């Protein structure tokens, strides 16, 4: 998003999207670049990031009616993106560990993304953690949301968000250290 005008436009589109198929199409087109940037923060492999982006847009289209306006739409979108990326990682990991072909075929010569990279180590550790503590960490450290935005999304006080982030970072550090030994 390049500015407040874009944010305001997206908020207006989100308000109209639940009632209008054309409004939903316009909203999805407007948020697609935002979602692409966010999923790229989770997945180093562009094919995985692209698939995760599509899953996020599909989730938004299915759940737009549940957006209650308690927070800004873009804040809600960050939460949907975080949860979808963690779920998508679990799907990729399940396919790799079961020997099934991944849902997205990598280009020839490339390695499956779930087997390489520090971000993927982070997602591996995060996928085994309690959502109560991992969600705020991902929102803060990967999506770079403010503490108060996270508090609104999770419907908890800012102090609780900070505490959960501290707890989550400690748990991630422990899990990552255990994975490297």
Give 137-150 pLDDT, tens digit per residue: 888 888 888 899 88
Q: Rounded distance, CA 43 to CA 33, Å?
A: 15
3-class state of residue 91 by DSSP? helix
Q: How many residues would you count in the chain?
A: 181
Domain chopping of the chain, boundaries: 4-179
Q: In angstroms, what CA-CA distances link 15 with 10, 21, 34, 63, 64?
A: 9, 12, 18, 13, 9
pLDDT tens digits, residue range 9-61? 998 899 888 778 888 999 999 999 999 999 988 887 888 889 999 999 999 99
Structure tokens at 105: 């075929």
CB atoms within 10 A of CB 25: 13
Is residue 93 over pLDDT 50?
yes
């Amino acid at each position: 998003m390049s500015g407040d005008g874009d944010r305001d436009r997206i908020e207006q589109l989100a308000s109209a999207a639940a009632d209008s198929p054309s409004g939903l199409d316009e909203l999805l087109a407007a948020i697609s670049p935002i979602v692409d940037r966010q999923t790229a923060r989770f997945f180093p492999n562009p094919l995985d990031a692209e698939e995760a982006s599509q899953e996020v847009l599909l989730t938004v289209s299915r759940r737009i009616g549940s957006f209650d306006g308690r927070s800004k739409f873009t804040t809600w979108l960050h939460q949907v993106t975080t949860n979808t990326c963690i779920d998508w990682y679990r799907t990729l990991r399940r396919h790799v560990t079961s020997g099934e072909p991944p849902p997205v075929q990598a280009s020839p010569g490339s390695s499956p993304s779930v087997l390489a990279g520090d971000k993927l180590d982070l997602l591996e550790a995060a996928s085994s953690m309690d959502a109560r503590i991992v969600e705020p960490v991902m929102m803060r450290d990967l999506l770079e949301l403010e503490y108060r935005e996270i508090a609104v999304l999770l419907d908890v006080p800012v102090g609780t968000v900070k505490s959960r982030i501290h707890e989550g970072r400690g748990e991630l550090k422990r899990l990552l250290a255990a994975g490297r030994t």
